[in-house]
Amino acid sequence: DKWMKTKATEVRQGTMEGYQIYVDKHIKPWFDEKDITLKGITTQHIEQYYTAKQKDDLSANTLLKHHCIIKGTLQKAVREKMIRYNPANDVILPKKEKWKQILSFLLF
């Protein structure tokens, strides 16, 4: 929530609305359901989140947007000395989709 408030002054309103949807619909519910706390979050938890969301048919491009939020949130926690290290730094991200791959899939 603190990160979202900080971002509200830095990005356009439409971007903030998108971020809020990602947080409210996907990120918070998943981590809350798993009872993963700020101090307990690991790189593996974040990668498990991406794997689960890929199974829910979210694209790699969308997950990169989720990663921006997760990594930014954790980096703010590091700056505020709430955690010592940002576990999102070591996450292996899903590969970004290329339009050629998407088009070839649709054509065949």
Q: What pLDDT digit, counting tens, does each position of 24-82 carry?
A: 999 999 999 999 999 999 999 999 999 999 999 998 889 999 999 999 999 999 999 99
Mean pLDDT of the chain: 87
Using only C-alpha atoms, the chain has a radius of gyration, in whole angstroms, of 15
- pLDDT tens-digit readout, 11-21: 788 888 888 99
DSSP state of 26: I
CA–CA separation, 74 and 69 (whole Å) = 9
pTM of the model: 0.82
pLDDT of residue 88: 97
